[in-house]
Structure 1
Amino acid sequence: MADHDVATRAPESDAQEAPSAPVGQSIFPGDTPAQAGPTMGDHCTTDRPTPTGEIPTGELAKLGGVDVYVTKPADYPHAPSKLLLLLTGGTGYKSTNNQLQADKYAGEGYLVVMPDQFDNDPAPNSVDMTQLSQDASWLDSIKLKTAEGMKAFMIDMWLARHTPEKVLPLLHKVVEGAKEEFADAVSNGGGIYGVGYCFGAKYILQLAGEHPDTVAWGQEAPKDEEQGTVKKAPVIKAGAIAHGTMVTKEDLEAVKVPVYIAAVKDDPLFPEDEVLTPGRRAMEKNNVEHEIQVFPGVPHGFAVLGDYDDPKIKQSQAQAFGEMLGWIQSH
């Protein structure tokens, strides 16, 4: 069986597509038409099986009035650390897999803050998509199709509740709270680092960009061109993302700090022709340090911590973590 087949057949696939907007439109106002079509998949709404025997070691807390998961190096604060902002997919900060992922970065010397960017409203759980048996009734088939449609509808409604206008203000509260609570880690790292997966990848890119002041804080761009000309500097000093969703070429065009991008080959959720390639050209033109690595034969969402039967996906998951960690370590 070819690698591509492995990556797209159940049960390994995390790339179930759910259309979120009419053709030519985006769930986010102002985004390019390239973002119409598939927007979220099962990778963002359902965790993979948790690796056996692993238990999160961090704690739930609040920063800037926002719920967060915080995990620290074992020798902190006796040894210096650096602050890392980790933004998740739709499963959110209470996901065991996401917490374990944060712990892995903490094990490498980072004080990790993983915020509840969904304000206690994580993505709807995926319905059971188990294959019907050969003797399943016609009614069972209808029920399955109805469940699929209902899941897509629920995800669309959820996405409509979590736009940049809602998410960015929460993130800025967390950043300001972290600067106060963990000033030593921010100072030691010379700023804040960021990593993002799936839904969270878009927002790491936005925090890595230079935007009009209002837009940077999750507000609409001013109608009057004479207003809002002051640009907000990037919030993070370097970032690394994996298989972003809802990313636009404008997000990449605005990036001003070093970024690493782990992408999936032929990924409809992060299209190469409409988003990745023009974004790469823009970063080259703007002299922004960047690296884009495309992983073939894996499903969208492969880099999110979770168990797979396929050894190739497991290997790619470990490789992506190593590349993302190496990028922020080198910056």
Structure 2
Amino acid sequence: MADPEVATRAPESDAQEDNDNDNKPAATAAAPAITTPDTETETETPPPAMCDDCTSDRPTPAGIASTGELTKLGGIDVYISKPADYPHTPARLLLLLTGGTGLQSVNNQIQADRFATEGYVVVMPDLFEGDPAPNSTSTTVAEEPATGSFLDVFKIKAVEAAKSFMIDMWLARHTSEKVMPILHKVLDASKDEFADAVSYGGGVYGVGYCFGARYILLLASERPVEVHGGMPWSSAATARPADEEAGRPKTLGPYIKAGSLAHATLVSPDDFKGLKSPVSVVSVENDPLFPDEVRTAGEDYMTKNNVEHEVQVYPGVPHGFAVVGDYEDANIRSAQATAFDQMLKWIKEH
């Protein structure tokens, strides 16, 4: 595999405050078009906001099973994986945020287990309250024939449109207004349940994939209480009263000490604003779900605001490659291992 392109920036410092929003990426893949033989009319099918790699798992590697447990924290379903010698040997607390396949995905559970073997108590919450993303590979459709009839092409495009509609409806049910309160319940309960791990690590660490990657950015940020229609994401007790006394809006966060994120989706340039905690970014080359203009806008913001960060762009791999899953291509398998090492090294060093 070709080495990923690397960019590393200066130490963290104060970053600008700004409101969170739910804008989708600034650019997406070009929509397929259907043109009838006897007209000039084109019917465009908008691309899905998430791809098959976000909503379905690769085959689980042979001979590997998850070893953690499903339980509840703060009334939220979570998967917890611990080092074998914990609590006799101290460990840090890590919050792992998944893609659309969610809590019940064995691959996601194995991903949590891998971090646990590296000395972390891993808490992986159900971001979707039992409603994982529609499996976009559940309907098998033949490859579009190179010289297929208009009817064949139309059927394929119709299925693609249906998938996109289902995903859009699912995303409408899982906005940041719904997800952030879940995260705060889990964080508050985790700090009580695993106070020793929080103390040992000097805070909570976070890693996120696909859908969950955006929330690593938000948790690593300091933002005004007034975000989302004046409703704070957490107790006002965690706001900074000094800000109000100084005539500035009360702010909340950051909630994690450092974070790593891989092949993010649904991220806008504004999601980088307010970043305080160091972040490591695993990015896929030419990824329409995390387009170059969003990534470079984020890099520019972090550089200008002295937020410690690193960005590595991986060529020749699919979106979702960093999540546990079996690939025949040795280059993808190698990149997967490299991405895990990148994310692990970052949180270990911070």
Q: CA deviation at 1:38?
A: 5.2
1:34 is the counterpart of 2:26: yes
Moved over 4 A (4+): 35-38, 132-143
Using the alignment, how far apart are the partners of 2:25 and 2:183 within structure 1? 26
Identical-pair percentage: 59
Is 2:264 aligned against 1:244? yes
- Provide the rounded CA distance (Å) in 1 between the counterparts of 2:179 and 2:144: 42
Give the residue type in structure 1 aligned to 2:162.
M
Question: Is it true that 1:259 corresponds to 2:282 in the alignment?
Answer: no
Superposition deviation, residue 147 in structure 1: 2.4
Number of matched residues?
299
1:319 Cα shift? 0.4
Tell me, in whole angstroms, the C-alpha distance in 2 between the residues paired with 1:32 and 1:107: 35
CA contact (8 A) 1:38 1:269 kept: no
Please point out which of 317, 321, 330 is paired with 2:336: 317
One-letter identity of the residue aligned with 1:146: A
Q: Taking structure 1 as reference, are residues 145 and 33 closer, same or farther at Cα in structure 2, changes over 3 Å only?
A: closer
Partner in structure 1 of residue 289 of structure 2: 269
Structure 2 gaps of 5+ residues are 3-19, 29-46, 232-243
Structure with greater Cα Rg: 2
Alpha-carbon separation, structure 2, partners of 1:35 and 1:206: 21
1:231 aligned to which of 251, 255, 268: 251
1:87 aligns with 2:97: yes
One-letter code aligned to 2:139: D
Residues 193 and 237 in structure 1, CA contact (< 8 A), matched pair in contact too: yes
CA–CA separation in structure 2 for the residues paired with 1:176 and 1:129 = 42
Root-mean-square deviation over aligned CA pairs: 2.4
Q: Which has the higher contact order (CA 8 A, sep 6+)?
A: 2
**SS class of match (1:234):** coil
Secondary structure of 1:147 counterpart: helix
Q: How does 1:28-67 map to 2 (within 5 A)?
A: 31=23, 34=26, 39-67=49-77
What's the counterpart of residue 101 of structure 1? 111
Tell me the secondary structure at the aligned position of residue 205 of structure 1.
helix
Please give the TM-score of this superposition, normalised by the length of structure 1: 0.84
Aligned to 2:348: 329
**Could you say which residue in structure 2 is the equivalent of 1:213?**
225
Residues 211 and 233, structure 1, Cα contact 8 Å, conserved in 2: yes
TM, length-normalised to structure 2? 0.80
Q: Is the 8 A contact 1:50 1:307 kept in 2?
A: yes
SS class of match (1:34): coil
Contiguous gaps of at least 5 residues in structure 1: 4-27
Work out whether residues 25 and 266 of structure 2, in 8 Å CA contact, stay in contact via their aligned partners in 1. no
Residue in structure 2 matched with residue 9 of structure 1 by the alignment: none
Offset, 1:255: 1.0
**What is the deviation of 1:290?**
0.2
**Which residue identity does 1:80 align to in structure 2?**
P
Tell whether the 8 Å contact from 1:89 to 1:200 is kept in structure 2 after alignment. yes
Kept in 2, the 8 Å contact 1:35–1:248? The answer is: no
Change (3 A) 1:55 1:228: farther
1:200 is paired with a residue whose SS is helix
Which deviates further from its counterpart, 195-204 or 129-138?
A: 129-138
User: 2: CA distance between counterparts of 1:254 and 1:231?
Assistant: 10
Structure 1 residues 276-291: aligned runs within 5 Å: 276-291=295-310
Q: Deviations over 1:50-77 (max 9, x none)?
A: 0001110000011111000000000011
How many Å separate the matches in 2 of 1:199 and 1:123?
10
> What pairs up with 1:112-261 in 2 under 5 angstroms?
112-126=122-136, 127-132=138-143, 142-215=154-227, 219-221=228-230, 229-261=249-281
- AA aligned opposite 1:156: D
